[in-house]
Amino acid sequence: MKAIIYQPYANAKRIKFKIPRKAYDWRRKVMAMNTSCYHKHQKLWSIVHNKQLLSQLKDILNGQYEVRSIIPGKQLAEHRPLTDMELDKVSQLEQKIVLSGYSPATRHSYRLAFIKFMLYHDNKNIDLLTKSEIESYMYKLVTTEKISNSQQNVSINALKFYYEKILGQERTSYDLQRPKRHKTLPNVLSSKEIRILMGTFKNIKHKAIMQMMYGCGLRISEVVNLRIEDIHTDQGYVFVKDSKGKKDRFTLLPESLLPLLRRYYIQHRPAYWLFEGAHGGQYSTSSINKIFRRGVQEAKLNAWATPHTLRHSFATHLMQMGINLRYVQELLGHASPKTTEIYTHVLQMNNKVIKSPLDCLNLGADQPHPIMR
């Protein structure tokens, strides 16, 4: 298993290289390198062209690489490849995002939105674009590509971050109109539906992951980030490190889950992360989504359900049990009780206390109308 380092041109600003798909340890270390960038369409990595970074890369690869020359127009060409100047801008954006303490997911989404923005303004210096030009771009996304409100917000945030944090422009120069936020209620499964869903998972790792998410109220990102040391069986809690908003918290460790976790640990012997992939390293969120989707289809449940539905169900079922809102807020890691209060609306929708006025009319719908006899 060897990596490939492509010999850069003398005036190139970045060095491109290819890492084998199963080289998980190399990828993890490259991701942590300063200025590293993955090019999805080329399926290549790159770093800024300097001796120190190249030496660091070679140390990571531990001599298991070969150097190849780049053939112009072949292999490395993508539909409209980024120029060296554009790659530098992307690198600046990513570096500033990391230094600002944003999550890897935010880094990824901002990067994609920013690249799309640069490609749209082909052969233009985006640093000199006016507010009206930026708004015209957003108008095109909304009207032509029909992007969602969340995608629109991501695009706006990415552009605001670039113009404000990197170029240091005044806020008024990129103050864009925000879409109205939809007020949606969380999707919740009943206790009976949860029981049916959990019965569809036969693999012990899959079963443990899903029961952890529901029984502890975890986000999908939190369950893949769990370490073995985060499970405190004696004290009966789970330590959730660096959750959303860079906050640590404690949550429940259900007693009924312990036998399953012990069997899982004995069978799989994870090294560091509680749930690891087939080749080591963290279990992927995409795998969890696929497992959950298969379970929902087999159980014939709400097609709109997602792994996050398990967290919503955890909170709603706790409140149905009479657990104080403040405790539920702490278990979920919500900064404001207003975020947790949304589950009270779900309770109001689910209860049997309020009757429809139609039920009070005693219309006798079961009696056939004379015309129907």
Better-predicted residue by pLDDT, 307 or 186: 307
The DSSP symbol for 69 reads E
pLDDT band at 130; cut points 50, 70, 90: confident
By CB atoms closer than 10 A (0-12, 13-18, 19+), residue 230 is middle
Q: Are residues 281 and 240 in the same domain?
A: yes
293 is a domain residue: yes
* Beta-bridge partner residues of 66: 4
Alpha-carbon distance 284 to 40, whole Å? 18
Which pLDDT score is estimated for 101?
Answer: 83
Alpha-carbon distance 243 to 13, whole Å? 36
Please report, for the domain that includes residue 280, its CATH number. Answer: 1.10.443.10
Which pLDDT score is estimated for 238?
Answer: 92
58 is a domain residue: yes
Which pLDDT score is estimated for 75?
Answer: 41
pLDDT, mean of residues 269-295: 90
Question: Which DSSP string do the residues of 83-142 spell out, in sequence order?
Answer: PHHHHHHHHHHHHHHHHTT--HHHHHHHHHHHHHHHHHTTTS-GGG--HHHHHHHHHHHH
Which pLDDT score is estimated for 184?
Answer: 63
Q: Are residues 199 and 99 in the same domain?
A: no
pLDDT, mean of residues 25-53: 85
Q: Which of 115-129, 196-210, 268-282 has the highest mean pLDDT?
A: 196-210
- The three-state secondary structure class of 61 is helix
Alpha-carbon distance 39 to 247, whole Å? 31
Task: With a cut of 90, say whether residue 106 has pLDDT above it.
Answer: no
368 is a domain residue: no
Alpha-carbon distance 334 to 312, whole Å? 13
pLDDT, mean of residues 91-103: 89
Structure tokens at 293: 């989707």
Which pLDDT score is estimated for 361?
Answer: 66
Q: Are residues 218 and 340 in the same domain?
A: yes
Amino acid at 250: F
371 is a domain residue: no
78 is a domain residue: no
Q: Are residues 196 and 331 in the same domain?
A: yes
Q: Are residues 233 and 335 in the same domain?
A: yes
Better-predicted residue by pLDDT, 29 or 340: 29
Which pLDDT score is estimated for 328?
Answer: 85
Please report, for the domain that includes residue 97, its CATH number. Answer: 1.10.150.130
Alpha-carbon distance 162 to 373, whole Å? 73
92 is a domain residue: yes
79 is a domain residue: no
Q: Are residues 95 and 59 in the same domain?
A: no
118 is a domain residue: yes
**Which residue do the tokens 């009479």 mark?**
322
Domain boundary, last residue among 69, 92, 123: 69
Q: Are residues 346 and 212 in the same domain?
A: yes
- In terms of Cα–Cα distance, which of 180, 176, 85 is closest to 134? 176
Please state, rounded to an integer, the average pLDDT across all residues of the chain: 83
Q: Are residues 296 and 225 in the same domain?
A: yes
Least confident of 103-117, 193-207, 344-358: 344-358
Q: Are residues 321 and 225 in the same domain?
A: yes
Per-position b or e across 251-284, b if 16+ CB within 10 A of its CB: bbbeeebeebbeebeeeeebeebbbbeeeebbbe
Domain residues for the domain of 49 are 3-69
* Beta-bridge partner residues of 106: none
Q: What is the count of structural domains for the chain? A: 3
pLDDT, mean of residues 200-214: 95
Domain boundary, last residue among 140, 174, 208: 174
pLDDT, mean of residues 367-372: 47
Please report, for the domain that includes residue 31, its CATH number. Answer: 3.40.1170
pLDDT, mean of residues 107-124: 88
Task: With a cut of 70, say whether residue 102 has pLDDT above it.
Answer: yes
Q: Are residues 198 and 346 in the same domain?
A: yes
Alpha-carbon distance 164 to 169, whole Å? 5
Alpha-carbon distance 158 to 115, whole Å? 10
Distance of CA 303 to the CA centre of its chain: 20
Distance of CA 121 to the CA centre of its chain: 28
- The three-state secondary structure class of 214 is helix
Which residues have a catalytic role annotated?
Answer: 219, 244, 308, 311, 334, 343
Q: Are residues 339 and 201 in the same domain?
A: yes
Q: List, in sequence order, the alpha helices (H) in 190-257.
A: 191-198, 204-216, 220-224
Domain boundary, last residue among 69, 100, 118: 69
For residue 32, the tally of other CB atoms under 10 A from its CB is 10
Contact 105, 116 (CB under 8 A): no
Q: Are residues 90 and 133 in the same domain?
A: yes
Which pLDDT score is estimated for 345?
Answer: 65
The torsion angles phi and psi of 50, rounded to 5 degrees, stand at: -150, 160
Angle of helix 307-320 relative to helix 191-198, nearest 10 degrees, comes to: 140
